[in-house]
Structure formats: structure tokens, C-alpha cells
Amino acid sequence: MRVLSGIQPSGKLHIGNYYGAMRQHLHLQAEHNCFFFIADYHALTSNPAADDVAACTLDVAMDYIALGLDTQKTVFWRQSDVPEVTELTWLLSCVTPMGLLQRCTSYKDKIAQGLAPNHGLFAYPVLQAADILIFNSELVPVGADQKQHIEVTRDIAGRFNSAYGEVFTIPKEHIIEAVAIVPGVDGRKMSKSYGNTIGIFEPESKVKKKIMKIVTDSIPVAEPKDPDKCNVFALLKLIASPEELGEWDEKYRSGGMGYGEAKKRLAELVIDYFKPFRVKRAELEDNIDYVKGVLADGAERARAVAGQTLKKARQVVGLRR
């Protein structure tokens, strides 16, 4: 199946991104024909500094490759290297009702937060639809926060197809729900915007320090604790083996365990798990040309597919020579 997903280069990736999205993307590579890209056009909607866009894009590329992206099998590119998507965005915009975009909750939420919206932010779901449709994607793995954008994509594809003929494959969404929400060190959703993240590749000493500071309640050591209410346990669930998790569950419930003990073990597990990826990441940092080469090769492969779909779409709407 053709699987496609994008990730925005809007800061250092954290373990919430890994367990919530990237790990599932990487697992899908074994069985599917995967297309993954770095959504730098989308990142511009929040007007980041130019140097940050460029640096974060390379960071995300190195992160994905270090974490196991199969550069031979999977097509991996920078969105802006395939400008065909912006042209398709225009064709799709012309069949997209305003109301459809006005109903998008991610847009409404940002306005509610007091953000002055630009047109890019409003049109964001149309660009996302173009990303998906131009590659004839069948399955789009995304977190629950992106579900509505996939519904919008399906709606736009249906409208275009009924107006002009069957040009686009209607994609299915594939919500990644195995991991609900990864909590940050303060117990809220781990997110760049809350400053509560544990970075995948930040120095090990910092990872440990942050884990030791995870917010817990103040139940005394001797007393039983509810693992399901503990942020440390929520993270242990992601990384400990089922046997070990069972042991922690018992320790929590029987009392006599301090949170410090669980935090220490969590830090060990996180550091051990990411160690081999960290080695690979360091190699890539010394070999940026290789990373740029992977993206350039991916862009070429992506453009070959995108160009064909765009050609069909141009034809059917009447942009013919």
C-alpha cells in the first residue's frame, strides 16, 4: 500500500513525537511503499526565522535517518523540493468551500489562542490535501490531532473527482492511537510549545536530569501508589518490557517504593534505547552532504510521481496547451 506522512520541522523532536508518530512511521516501512517528507512549506505558516527553517529541516532529516529510515526503500524528501504540490494546492483551492476550512479545529484553536491568522494558516489543510493526493496515497498515518485534515482531504478529493473525473485516490486515514498522549515532564502533553519535552537526541545527562524532575504527587514512599495516575509510569509503559512493567505495577501498588527509584530506571531505559540511534546521529552530523544527498534523491523520486498526477489534474481542469 502507498503510505504517506509528513512532519513539520518546527523544533527539536522529542520522545512524544517518537512514540506518538515516528516509531509507527518507521514500522510501516517493512510492509509498505512509504513516502515521508519534511513539511517545510507548512512550517512557514508560523513565520519562523529563515535560519531556523533550514536548520530544523536538516535536524529532522538526520533524526529520521538515524532512527531507522530506510533510505533505499522509502522515499524521503523536503516538501519544498517538490513545488508541484503548491500548484496542485491552487487547483484544489478552487474546489474547496470556504466553510470547510472555517470549520477546521486546528485553525479555530489557533485563533482562540489569540494568534492573528495569515492566509497560509487558513489554507494549510489544502496544502496538506495536495501533499496527500499528488502521491496517490492510500494510507496516511497521523496522530488524532490530524484526523480532521484527512477528512478535509477526502472531501476535497471527492469534489474534484466528481467535477472533473477520477483523478485522485481517496485516502484512508490511519490514526495512530496505540500511544494516547505522551506526557511531558510537567504532566501536560509533551509539546515543543509547552517547553516540557525530553529531546530524543539531547545530551544523556540532560535527559536524565529532566526525567528526575518529572512531576509526581507527594504520596510518601511507604504508601501504595496508583501507577495509572503517574507520569513516570506512563513513560515506563512506552519503553519497559511487559515483564518489567508488571513488576513496576506491583511495586507501585504495594508501597515501599519512591518515585525516585522509578525515575532512575526510566532514565536508564530511555538512554539505553536511544544509544545506538545517537551514535548514528553523530555520524550523520559529520556527513551533512550524505543527508542532503538523501533528500535530493528523495525529491527526484517524489517529483516523478507528483509530476504525473499534476499533469493529469491540469489536463482535466482545462490547463491544456
Site residues (vs ligand ADP, CB under 6 A)? 7-8, 10, 16-17, 20-21, 142-143, 145, 179, 181-182, 189-193
Binding residue (CB under 6 A) for ligand TRP from 8, 96, 197, 309: 8
Using CB distances below 5 to 8 A depending on partner kind, what does residue 24 bind out of ligand TRP, ligand ADP, none?
A: none
Can you state the angle between helices 288-317 and 50-66, rounded to 10 degrees?
Answer: 100
- Measured in whole angstroms, the distance separating CA 141 from the mean position of its chain's CA atoms is 9
Q: Which stretch binds ligand TRP (CB under 6 A): 1-9, 54-62, 160-168, 213-221?
A: 1-9
Binding track over 145-164 against ligand TRP, x by CB under 6 A:
-x------------------
Do residues 14 and 192 touch, judged by C-beta distance below 8 A? yes
Q: Can you tell me the distance from the alpha carbon of 1 to that of 34, in angstroms, rounded to the nearest whole number?
A: 8
Choice between 231 and 309, CB closer to ligand TRP:
309
Q: Can you tell me the distance from the alpha carbon of 302 to that of 135, in angstroms, rounded to the nearest whole number?
A: 8
Q: Is 172 considered catalytic here?
A: no
22 contributes a contact to ligand TRP by CB under 6 A: no
Using CB distances below 5 to 8 A depending on partner kind, what does residue 182 bind out of ligand ADP, ligand TRP, none?
A: ligand ADP
What residues contact 167, with CB distance under 8 A and at least 6 apart? 160, 161, 309, 312, 313, 316
Binding residue (CB under 6 A) for ligand TRP from 3, 6, 9, 38: 6
5 contributes a contact to ligand TRP by CB under 6 A: yes
Cα–Cα distance list, 46 to 85, 117, 128 (Å): 19, 9, 15
Choice between 188 and 253, CB closer to ligand ADP:
188
DSSP 189: B
User: And the C-alpha cell for 187?
Assistant: 504532566
State the minimum distance, in angstroms, from the CB of residue 134 to ligand TRP: 10
Site for ligand TRP in 74-133 (CB under 6 A): 128, 131-132
Phi/psi of residue 96, nearest 5 degrees: -100, 115
Alpha helix stretches (DSSP H) within the chain: 15-17, 23-28, 40-43, 50-66, 84-93, 98-102, 105-112, 119-133, 147-164, 204-212, 231-239, 242-254, 259-285, 288-317
Choice between 39 and 69, CB closer to ligand TRP:
39
Binding residue (CB under 6 A) for ligand TRP from 39, 134, 236, 267: 39
Q: Can you tell me the distance from the alpha carbon of 321 to that of 304, in angstroms, rounded to the nearest whole number?
A: 21
What residues line the site for ligand TRP (CB under 6 A)?
Answer: 4-8, 39, 42, 128, 131-132, 140, 142, 146
Question: Known catalytic residues?
Answer: 110, 189, 192
